[in-house]
Amino acid sequence: MDQKKREEAQTAAGFFDPDQNCWRVNQADRLALVVDGEDYFPALRQIVSQAQHELLLIGWDFDFEIEMLPGESDGDGNAPDGLPNQVGAFLEAVVEQSPNLNVYILKWNGAVVAAPGRLLSSAAVYVFSHDRIHFALDGHHPFGACHHQKIIVADNAFAFCGGIDVTENRWDTAEHLPSDTRRVGKDGALLGPWHDATTALTGPVAAALGELARARWFRATGETLTPPGDGARDIWPENLEVAATQVDVAIARTEPPYDGAPLINEIECLFLDSIRMAQGTIYIESQYLTTQTICDALCDRLAEKDPPELIIINPEAALSGFEDQSMHVLRGRVIDRLQKADHLDRFHIYSPVNSAGEPIYVHAKIMIVDDAVLHIGSSNLDDRSMGFDTECDVAIHGHAHLISSFRERLLSEHLGVSQLHFRETLDREGSVIATITRLNAAKGRRLKPIIALPETWLGKTLADTRLMDPRYVAHESTNTGKGLRPRHIAVAAAGIAAGYLAVKLWKHWERKA
């Protein structure tokens, strides 16, 4: 190891604290940073096709009917690699051609409630699939919590870990083109633009993620899986560019208290440690912005005499009106607090739009602090991800060029400019916020400032109860924690029903008057 790599490794070891802000720190022989589904799904097909012994698919949801490469099927439904394009049929074909391969698919049991249309395809996999395809629904979590990790491990040698699910509405290009006919649902309806990210990793860190995935399988099913012995295999998708080699990678988790085990909130601790060490810039992409502890830490930094810049990229709105009322009312309150703490115009929050001005849904979960720390994973900046749902993030520290280049890549995509143009502008402006302001177009592809909307009575009720965003805190059990309980649902339902009835009666009295 040369002197530069030795110093970076020592720096990473000093920042990451196993059992506090991470679970493990292991080396990645190769690392790629994958942005958007157009790059992810071809890489996933190649990895699945190369697996020979064990394939672990641990996720929030799997939709076995989607095409992995939209618009590329031939008349027989096959992709250009000659194998079926649909997920379920593709897995069947891969197992048929790999006589020693076992596939383990673990899906959150609540996903079949959230998307009941996918229940039949899941049931078909369970009942009719090859006997070396093992499917289970994960219900081993507190009531109302969900299994939200997105981990895929092949032969203990290669892993994906990040935010992209193998389900509908995740495929898109970096251009996020308007009315892209490849971005279509199974019902034929066009889907909106979608921005996402994950990582690809080989080496000891992939083996560690395999261990985590097998532990999750055991917790859900009671079955112990023995890792394959051929962990030194060279597996890599040819379409992915290697961003770095021999990188120390931290794995951080959130796990709610369950079956007597305490809360694990390594991800929250890692976020807080990263915010505290920021000097110049905190850059965040997240689906939500409601975490109380993170908000407190960010407000403290903004209130300093010379605070770091804080740039947050969020979706304009949630995927449903009910979710939007709850989560984005909470976001509005966080925005208000951050703006009050921001005395030097260092806080900006944006939502990306494509060339037609259509909102791009942000599903990526990323934090970049200065040129020093990069987090990518499954955790959102909401309380659920800090202490209620099951999450897994990976992080690197100390690789300045890799980290700054990745931030430039993300912002260049959002602004519709080349990465070189962004970097040259940043060199002149000396500030990420000033660079965004300089390059942000008046129309077309751009970043639109997010403005908090007024609260409705429904949104206020949902936000005040944190019905959609509960959490546990350290030293609390599932019996005493702040998680979603049946009584909360009953109270909320009664309140909503009472409010609805009151509105109907009021309108009735108005008509009578």
Question: What is residue 494's predicted lDDT score, i.e. its pLDDT?
Answer: 45
Confidence of residue 165 (pLDDT cuts 50, 70, 90): very high
Q: Domain extents for the chain?
A: 29-255, 264-449
Are the beta carbons of 68 and 90 closer than 8 angstroms?
A: yes
**More confidently predicted of 100 and 480:** 100
Mean per-residue pLDDT, 268-272: 98
Which element (helix H / strand E) includes 78? none
> Is the distance from CB of 195 to CB of 362 less than 8 angstroms?
yes
Non-local (6+) Cβ contacts of 13 within 8 A are 25, 248
Q: Helices 400-415 and 432-439 sit at what angle, rounded to 10 degrees?
A: 30
pLDDT tens digits, residue range 237-269?
A: 999 999 999 999 999 999 999 888 899 999 999
pLDDT of amino acid 10: 40
Q: For residue 125, what pLDDT band results from cuts at 50, 70 and 90? A: low
Q: What is the CA radius of gyration of the chain?
A: 23
Task: Kindly state the average pLDDT of the residues 117-127.
Answer: 50
**DSSP-derived secondary structure for 6-50:** HHHHHHHHHH--BTTTBSEEEEEEEEEEEESHHHHHHHHHHHHHH
Portion of the chain with pLDDT greater than 70, in percent: 86
- In the prediction, which pLDDT does 510 show? 52
Q: Is the pTM value of this prediction over 0.85?
A: yes
Mean pLDDT of 30-49: 97
If residue 180 lies in a helix (H) or strand (E), which one and from where to where?
none
Which stretches of 121-233 are assigned E, i.e. beta strand?
133-138, 151-154, 158-162, 194-195, 197-202
Q: What is the mean pLDDT of residues 67-72?
A: 95
Stretch among 103-107, 317-321, 444-448 having the lowest mean pLDDT: 317-321
pLDDT at 40 over 70: yes
Work out the average pLDDT over 176-197.
Answer: 93
Nearest to 170, CA basis, from 179, 153, 161, 182: 182
Residue 127: predicted pLDDT: 47
pLDDT for the residue numbered 426: 98
Separation CA 261–CA 46 (nearest Å) = 37
Determine the pLDDT at residue 110.
76
pLDDT for residue 336 is more than 90: yes
E-assigned strand segments in 400-445: none
Share of the chain above pLDDT 90, in %: 75
By mean pLDDT, which of 136-150, 228-242, 283-297, 483-497 is the weakest?
483-497
Q: Looking at domain 264-449, does it have CATH number 3.20.20.370?
A: no
CA 339 vs CA 310, 311, 319, 344, 346: distances in Å: 11, 12, 25, 10, 9
- Predicted confidence band of residue 12 (pLDDT cuts 50, 70, 90): low
Q: Which tokens in the block code for residue 20?
A: 């506090």
Report helix, strand or coil for 168: coil
- Pull the structure tokens for residue 219: 């917790």
**Mean pLDDT, to the nearest integer, of 126-134?**
74
The whole-chain average pLDDT of the chain stands at 88
Checking if the pLDDT of 314 tops 80, the result is yes
Q: Do domains 29-255 and 264-449 have the same CATH topology?
A: yes
* pLDDT at res. 350: 98
Is the pLDDT at 511 greater than 60? The verdict is no
State residue 69's pLDDT score. 96
Average pLDDT rounded to a whole number, residues 494-511: 50
| Range 64-80 average pLDDT | 94
Give, for 189, the enclosing helix (H) or strand (E): none
Bigger pLDDT: 266 or 487? Answer: 266
Nearest alpha-carbon partner for 371 in 84, 106, 11, 125:
11
pLDDT above 80 (res 11): no
Q: Would the pLDDT of 152 be above 50? A: yes
Q: What is the pLDDT of residue 86?
A: 96
**HEC-encoded secondary structure of 58-72:** EECCECCCCECCCCC
Q: Are strands 194-195 and 361-362 parallel, antiparallel or unpaired?
A: parallel
Confidence of residue 486 (pLDDT cuts 50, 70, 90): very low
pLDDT reported for residue 186? 83
| CATH-assigned architecture of domain 29-255 | 2-Layer Sandwich (3.30)
Average of pLDDT values for 381-388? 96
Residue reference for tokens 């909401």: 382
Q: Taking residues 488-505, what's their average pLDDT?
A: 46
